Amino acid sequence: MQLIDGKKLANKIHAKVAKEVETLKSEKNITPGLAVILVGDNPASQAYVKMKAKACKEVGFYSIVHEMPESITQDEIIATIEMMNNNPRIDGILVQLPLPKHIDTTKILEVVDPKKDVDGFHPYNVGRMVTGLDSFVACTPLGVMEMFKEYNIELQGKDICVVGASNIVGKPMANLLVNANATVTTTHIYTKDLASHTSKADIVIVGAGVPNLIKKDMVKDGAIVIDIGINKLDSGKLVGDVDFDGVAPKCSFITPVPGGVGPMTIAMLLVNTLKSAKSRGL
């Protein structure tokens, strides 16, 4: 069993991005800029935004966080996004999810300029990703693909089961895998007999938000398991969607939680923002 070290790979990507930012600054006088919209006081969202701001600082980005109260109106958020769409210093716009219930998340994401949609959530980018065209791709699935590349894990012809079908993780993940010529089964909350799908798969990718959902009898010997979930138990312990202690001994590769996919999500946000900034210099 080999651990897929997301933290180590993310640090490698951060160093590469920082070097490219230096070049961009000296040759084109461009500093990549990332703007984040944070609505309300969700502790998890606040923690993620802090991590993103810290990562931006480390690689030399300009970054700004627009903190808004829970009671903010949809029109006020849209006005802020449109202001950032028109700001030449901003290359990436990120709306931290989830948004309060009175806000139409789909509408908000559609307002973001597709050229600044570094989260890869705009329908324009989703459509291009599905058809295999160059686009901004959702950071978590993109990070998983980067892990496969780093560890020389071949995807072509593999049977892969994706557990979870969210617009942010499951659906884009499945599409990227299909584009890589894998045979993909997508499962979700309405799937009958989840184990019958996961137990046949060469690779199992889980992003369901259910602590320890995948048990050792649900994966075959030698499987590769990617755990995207991160859940806080009442004890305060962070665990994934996979029962790591039970499943790990059966795997050829597995990601830990924390230290697996999480750091890669932020690393890919930096990569996407840098990509946007480079297009500004063309």
Is 6 a member of any domain? Answer: no
Rounded to whole angstroms, how far apart are CA atoms 226 and 144?
8
Is 121 a member of any domain? Answer: no
Q: Does the pLDDT value for residue 280 go beyond 90?
A: no
Q: Do residue 243 and residue 180 come from a single domain?
A: yes
Q: pLDDT value at position 201?
A: 98
Host domain of residue 215: 139-262
Assess whether 119 carries a catalytic annotation.
Answer: yes
Confidence at 44, pLDDT banded by 50, 70, 90:
confident
Stated pTM of the model = 0.96
Confidence at 235, pLDDT banded by 50, 70, 90:
very high
* DSSP per-residue codes, 161-215: EEE---TTTHHHHHHHHHHTT-EEEEE-TT-S-HHHHHTT-SEEEE-S--TT-B-
Q: State pLDDT tens for residues 197-226.
A: 999 999 999 999 999 999 999 999 999 999
Q: pLDDT value at position 141?
A: 98
Q: Are the C-beta atoms of residues 79 and 20 closer than 8 Å to each other?
A: no
Q: Do residue 179 and residue 255 come from a single domain?
A: yes
Q: State pLDDT tens for residues 143-160.
A: 999 999 999 999 999 999
| Marked catalytic residue, from 5, 119, 202, 227 | 119
Is 126 a member of any domain? Answer: no
Q: Are the C-beta atoms of residues 44 and 185 closer than 8 Å to each other?
A: no
Rounded to whole angstroms, how far apart are CA atoms 183 and 264?
24
> Total structural domains in the chain?
2
Is 270 a member of any domain? Answer: no
Q: State pLDDT tens for residues 1-40.
A: 999 999 999 999 999 999 999 999 999 999 999 999 999 9
Q: With pLDDT > 70 as the criterion, what percentage of the chain qualifies? A: 99
Assess whether 156 carries a catalytic annotation.
Answer: no
Is 37 a member of any domain? Answer: yes
Q: Do residue 173 and residue 234 come from a single domain?
A: yes
What are residue 227's DSSP bridge partners?
206
Q: Does the pLDDT value for residue 267 go beyond 80?
A: yes
Assess whether 241 carries a catalytic annotation.
Answer: no
- Around Cβ 151, how many Cβ atoms within 10 Å? 13
Looking at residue 147, which CATH number applies to its domain? 3.40.50.720
Mean pLDDT of 227-243: 93
Q: pLDDT value at position 281?
A: 64
Q: Are the C-beta atoms of residues 58 and 14 closer than 8 Å to each other?
A: yes
| Marked catalytic residue, from 5, 96, 117, 158 | 96
Q: Do residue 150 and residue 233 come from a single domain?
A: yes
Q: State pLDDT tens for residues 79-102.
A: 999 999 999 999 999 999 999 999
Q: State pLDDT tens for residues 120-134.
A: 999 999 999 999 999
Instruction: Say which residue the tokens 């993620």 belong to.
Output: 48
C-alpha distances in Å from residue 257, one per residue of 4, 12, 188, 206 = 11, 19, 21, 12
Is 3 a member of any domain? Answer: no
Of 195, 146, 178, which is closest to residue 14 (Cα–Cα)? 146
Rounded to whole angstroms, how far apart are CA atoms 158 and 183?
6
| Marked catalytic residue, from 52, 116, 158, 171 | 52
Contacts of 177 (CB under 8 A, 6+ apart): 155, 160, 162, 184
